[in-house]
């Protein structure tokens, strides 16, 4: 079993015992997403959920929460913004340490060199290099912006 998922299960049990309903809901949501992924994997060669799969699920959930916050800000719904922010905090607990902006920039520059990228057309190659090395640790939306700037100039 995935090490990250073991931590999620322990945390869920603690939250249930302490009757922390918001935390229980968020953690159960993660468990649900994991089960969906397991069902999806049954048709393929991979049978076991890996830490990378859990990290992808958590990153996707973070992205959804951030998009919701943007929508709620436009609608002036501060109560819902706070709920999403608390869910993000819970999800972040189980993600690997995220790279700083400087680290992302350095990694992008190195990936451009490693992939011999010349223009924006090579962005896919560079992203492939980044994803192979930094999955779960890097904000790829941020990396995409940096790469566009680097490869256009």
pLDDT, tens digit (0-9, with 9 covering 90-100), for 51-88: 778 888 888 898 899 999 999 999 999 999 999 999 99
Percentage of the chain lying above the pLDDT 90 cut: 35
pLDDT of residue 153 exceeding 70: no
**Closest C-alpha to 38, from 5, 61, 9:** 5
Domains of the chain: 3-92 (1.10.1510.10), 101-152 (1.10.10.410)
User: Residue written as tokens 């992008």?
Assistant: 108
Percentage of the chain lying above the pLDDT 70 cut: 98
Helix and strand element counts for the chain (H, E): 7, 0
Please answer whether residues 140 and 107 qualify as being in contact, where contact means their C-beta atoms are separated by less than 8 angstroms.
Answer: no
Please answer whether residues 101 and 114 qualify as being in contact, where contact means their C-beta atoms are separated by less than 8 angstroms.
Answer: no
pLDDT at 26: 93
């Amino acid at each position: 079993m995935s090490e990250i998922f073991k931590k999620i299960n322990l945390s869920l049990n603690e939250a249930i015992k302490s009757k922390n309903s918001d935390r229980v809901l968020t953690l159960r949501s993660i468990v649900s997403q994991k089960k969906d992924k397991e069902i999806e994997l049954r048709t393929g060669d991979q049978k076991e959920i890996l830490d990378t799969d859990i990290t992808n699920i958590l990153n996707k959930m973070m992205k959804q929460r951030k998009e919701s916050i943007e929508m709620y800000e436009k609608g002036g719904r501060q109560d819902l913004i706070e709920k999403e922010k608390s869910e993000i905090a819970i999800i972040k607990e189980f993600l690997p340490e995220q790279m700083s902006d400087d680290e992302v920039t350095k990694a992008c520059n190195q990936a451009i060199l490693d992939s011999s990228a010349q223009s924006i057309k090579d962005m896919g190659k560079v992203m492939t290099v980044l994803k192979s090395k930094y999955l779960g640790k890097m904000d790829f939306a941020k990396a995409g912006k940096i790469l566009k700037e680097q490869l256009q100039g």
